[in-house]
Amino acid sequence: MTRTKPMFAAVAFMAMAIAACQPGTNTHPVPSVAQIGSDLNCPKGDHGFEDSQVGWGFCYPASWKYNERPQASTNPPGLDLTFDITDIPCASPPPGTASARPICSPNAGLFAFMIISTYERGSSDSLASWLQANTASPSPSPPALQPITWGNSTQAARLADGRRIALTQHHVVILDLRSGQGHLDLETEMSARLGTWKFSY
């Protein structure tokens, strides 16, 4: 997948410039230009995405391209990264091949998007306690969490609405996959790659 670097780099520069002018230390994640995830050990046919500022990276199908949009979150404080994903259209066959027909992936042209939110963990010692402290209208009892394995996170679970949530050393990360019938099947592709995620802090 390809990304629109100039626009995102400009956003990152502005965010860092604004942060530098603020009193005190800004401990919240800010947008940054992601680096190729060479240390993610992605399988053949996948590419790696890694962003050192938000502290995570993952593998994704090499046939995807995307535009990335950052947006600050205030309640709770953090950063939402939205990825508008499209499976690449058909490609021309390599020169010298017998067939002149284009080479297409099964999902060519299909679209979906996902939102990856990164929040400060604070003093919470579990996902349940963090949700209780940071949900707008917390319920009297801890939210129902289905335990899952998600990369090297300290604790991970699936929420009742299908979102994944992970507790790392300093952050809480929420993965929200948005697709539907007739669109790119993010659920199948990304759930199969949860094990490739690397949380650095």
Least confident of 12-16, 30-34, 50-54, 172-176: 12-16
- For 15, the token pair is 């965010």
Distance CA 65, CA 5 (A): 13
Q: Which residues contact 123 (CB under 8 A, 6 or more apart)?
A: none
Reply yes or no on whether the pLDDT at 1 is more than 90. Answer: no
133 within some domain = yes
Distance CA 34, CA 3 (A): 10
Reply yes or no on whether the pLDDT at 80 is more than 90. Answer: yes
46 within some domain = yes
Least confident of 45-54, 118-127, 192-201: 45-54
54 within some domain = yes
26 within some domain = yes
98 within some domain = no
79 within some domain = yes
Distance CA 17, CA 29 (A): 14
The Cβ-side half-sphere exposure at 16, using a 13 Å CA radius, reads 10
Contact 159, 165 (CB under 8 A): yes
Count up the domains in the chain and report the number: 1
Contact 27, 14 (CB under 8 A): no
199 within some domain = no
Contact 15, 36 (CB under 8 A): no
Distance CA 148, CA 18 (A): 38
- The pLDDT tens digits of the residues spanning 21-65 come to 344 444 444 444 444 555 788 998 899 999 988 999 999 998 899
Distance CA 179, CA 201 (A): 29
Nearest partner of 12 among 54, 47, 48, judged by Cα? 54
Domain around 161: 5-89+103-194
Residue located via tokens 């979906």:
112
50 within some domain = yes
Share of the chain above pLDDT 70, in %: 76
